Amino acid sequence: MAMLQLENDLQKLTQTARLSNAMEDVDQIINLLTMIREKYAAENNPHETNLELTMLQNPIKVRLDELNKKLRSVHKAQNDFSKSLKTAFGKANGTLPTDHDPMESQTALINRAIAMHLLREGEFGVASTFISEAQPQNDSSRESSHSFTQPSPGTMDSETSPRSPTPADTIITDADWSAFQSQTLQSSFASMYSILSHLRSHNLHPAIEWARRNCTELEARGSNLEFELCKLQFVWLFKGPVVNGLPDTPENGVSGALQYARQNFGRFQSRHLREIQQLSCAMVYSPNLGSSPYRSIFDISLAFDEVASSFTREFCSLLGLSAESPLYVAATAGALALPQLVKYTSKMKAKGTEWTTTNELAFETPLPPSMLYHPIFVCPVSKEKTTDANPPMILPCGHVLARESLQRLAKGSRYKCPYCPTEGVIKDAREIIL
Partner 1 sequence: MGDHVGTKLDHENHLLLDQPLLRLPFELLRKNFRSAHFEVEKDGTFVKNLLKETASANYSQTPQEDVLKNLDTMIARMRGVKRKLTAFAEEEDRLYHHEEARVKHLAELYSMYSVDDVKYESWSRTRLDRLLVDYLLRHGYNDSARALAEERGIELLVDVDTFEQMSRIRKSLLNGSVTEALAWCAAGDTKKELRKMDSNLEFMLRYQQYIEIVRSKARTKPNEALAHAKKYLFPYRETYPHEFRQACGLLAIPPGDARSVYSELYSQARWEMLADLFTSTHNTLLSLPPVPLLHVALSLGLSALKTPACHSIHPASTAGAPSHSTSMLLAASVCPICSTELNELARNVPYANHSKSHVEPDLLMLPNGRAYGKARLEEYARKAGLLDGQVKDLRTGEIFSMDRLKKVYIS
Query: Interface with partner 1 by CB under 8 A: which range of 247-255, 257-265, 289-297, 396-404?
Result: 396-404
Please report whether residue 64 would count as binding partner 1 according to CB under 8 A.
Answer: yes
In this structure, the number of other CB atoms found within 10 A of the CB of residue 276 comes to 19
User: Which 3 state secondary structure label does DSSP give 143?
Assistant: coil
Contact call for residues 364 and 373 (beta carbons, < 8 A)? no
Q: Under rule CB under 8 A, which residues in 271-310 are in contact with partner 1?
A: 271-273
Kindly state the smallest distance separating residue 122's Cβ from partner 1, in Å: 10
**Least gap, CB of 166 to partner 1 (angstroms):** 10
Which region holds residue 209: left if phi is over 0, alpha if psi is between -120 and 50, else beta?
alpha
Instruction: Tell me how many residues contact partner 1 (CB under 8 A).
Output: 157
Which residues neighbour 114 within 8 Å (Cβ) at sequence distance 6 or greater? 130, 327
The C-alpha atoms of residue 406 and residue 414 are separated, in whole angstroms, by 10
Taking the least distance from each CB to partner 1, the nearer of 212 and 385 is 385
Q: Looking at 215-223, 236-244, 292-300, 406-414, which segment touches partner 1 (CB under 8 A)?
A: 215-223
Interface residue with partner 1 among 103, 242, 302, 350 (CB under 8 A) is: 103
Q: Can you tell me the distance from the alpha carbon of 31 to that of 242, in angstroms, rounded to the nearest whole number?
A: 75
Alpha carbon distance 319, 159 (integer Å): 6
Footprint of partner 1 on residues 110-129 (CB under 8 A)? 110, 112-114, 116-118, 123, 125-126, 129
Instruction: Give the one residue of 202, 212, 349, 399 binding partner 1; rule: CB under 8 A.
Output: 399
Piece in contact with partner 1 (CB under 8 A), picked from 85-93, 239-247, 282-290, 291-299 = 85-93
Please provide the DSSP assignment of 71-109 as one string.
HHHHHHHHHHHHHHHHHHTTTT-S----S--TTGGGHHH
Mention every residue, 6+ apart, whose C-beta is less than 8 A from residue 427: 413
Which residue, 381, 390, 392, is CA-closest to 434? Answer: 392
Nearest residue (CB) to partner 1, 242 versus 302: 302
10 Å CB burial of residue 178 (0-12, 13-18, 19+) is buried
The secondary structure of residue 28, as a DSSP letter, is: H
Cβ distance to partner 1 smaller for residue 119 or 237: 119
Shortest separation between residue 374's beta carbon and partner 1, angstroms: 4
Per rule CB under 8 A, is residue 89 in the interface with partner 1?
A: yes
- 327-366 footprint of partner 1 as x/- string (CB under 8 A): xxxxxxxxxxxxx-xx--------------xxxxxxxxxx
Rg over CA atoms, the chain: 36
Q: Which is nearer to partner 1, 352 or 388 (CB)?
A: 388
The residues facing 424 across adjacent strands are 415
Positions in 239-278 near partner 1 (CB under 8 A): 270-273
Q: Which of residues 176-195 bind partner 1 (CB under 8 A)?
A: none
Q: Of the ranges 200-208, 242-250, 254-262, 320-328, which one interacts with partner 1 (CB under 8 A)?
A: 320-328
